[in-house]
Amino acid sequence: MHKNLSHEEITPPEYSFYLGCVIPNRYPFVEQATRNVLNELGVRLKDMQGASCCPAPGVFRSFDIPTWLAIGARNIAIAEENNADLVTMCNGCYGTLIDVDHQLKTDEKKRTFVNNHLVKIDKKFKGSIKVKHLAEVLYMDLGMDKIRDSVTRLLGGLKCAVHYGCHLTKPSAIRPWGGETEDPRFFDELVEVIGCESTDYKDKHMCCGAGGGVRSAIKEVSLDFTRHKLEMMREAGAECIVVMCPFCMLQLDLGQIEVNSIFKDEISAPFAIPVFYYTQLLGLAMGMHPNDLGLVKHHNLKGVPPFVDQEPILSRIFKELGYDYKQLQKQSVKTES
């Protein structure tokens, strides 16, 4: 059968949109921002019916590999039914799903084992799609030219501490970044293209502290990592932190409140560096409305993310873009009532 090439050209790129756990439960506005931004960039997202926890690499892969493989394979199988590559916004989900995908594609024994279980629920791992991180979709599939073209306003040299997170670049052999782990640049480029400055800071590629089940198991050790990272970011003069992983986001956001209390005698001053997910800032640079990007927090909301107050920095950026933070906050109250 001949393929209709002209038809293919106009078909928008499609992805199975994998949400994971942390975003729906803690940072739902990150999903909103990402959906809107990808939509604006001409990407069609297919929901994954019945998708579960990835499952988390630190707490599953470290303890029970067969279970981890089977659950991961089930999620990938759902994306295969969608007939579209899987995209995830989370480094942890990425770490699990790309590893499961790689292992099952290269090891027939494991594939047979997993499929023997999946057949009981009418599912099958075929190995027909790829697992991708949102960063790969933006940087490689859509490409920097497309992102650059879609940017309509620059964010005035905002000093960002970019945090890559561990699973995004390692292990390098099954990552798309050409073996680069010591000094990758793609995230910095994505941040620079929207008019921000990527501030170099010491131990940029150090773990946020949350991964590997450490946050769940020994919180103080995990927060000590976070404390060190935050100190390095502050020393380098970063005005905000930009992430592409909700778990890193949680650790660097909620973590600041925790560090301020647990390590209050060791730090020179309490931390208050706002944390953004990349698509929130990208959307802003693409001319999208702050309300569509989850950037305005209801003034009455306490104890929910984002934990570090974003108002001071957003007020400044909004002013340059012609918005008034307070006014937007009132509008959002009105919409809700």
Interacting residues toward another protein by CB under 8 A: 179, 182-183, 202-203
**183 or 265: CB nearest another protein:** 183
Min dist CB 181 to another protein, Å, is: 9
**202 or 319: CB nearest another protein:** 202
Min dist CB 156 to another protein, Å, is: 23
Distance CA 249, CA 27 (A): 9
Whether 260 contacts 271, CB under 8 Å:
yes
**35 or 205: CB nearest another protein:** 205
- Residue 69, phi then psi, degrees to nearest 5: -60, -45
**185 or 264: CB nearest another protein:** 185
- Helix, strand or coil for residue 266? coil
Choose among 196, 109, 188, 217: nearest CA to 151: 196
Whether 241 contacts 161, CB under 8 Å:
yes
Min dist CB 238 to another protein, Å, is: 14
Whether 277 contacts 197, CB under 8 Å:
no
The residues, any chain, with a CB within 8 Å of residue 175's CB and separated by 6 or more, are 98, 168, 169
**203 or 324: CB nearest another protein:** 203
Distance CA 179, CA 188 (A): 17
**202 or 330: CB nearest another protein:** 202
**115 or 172: CB nearest another protein:** 172
Min dist CB 247 to another protein, Å, is: 24
Distance CA 216, CA 74 (A): 25
Min dist CB 179 to another protein, Å, is: 6
Min dist CB 239 to another protein, Å, is: 17
Min dist CB 325 to another protein, Å, is: 33
SS3 labels along 58-114? HHHHCCCHHHHHHHHHHHHHHHHHHCCCEEECCHHHHHHHHHHHHHHHHCHHHHHHH
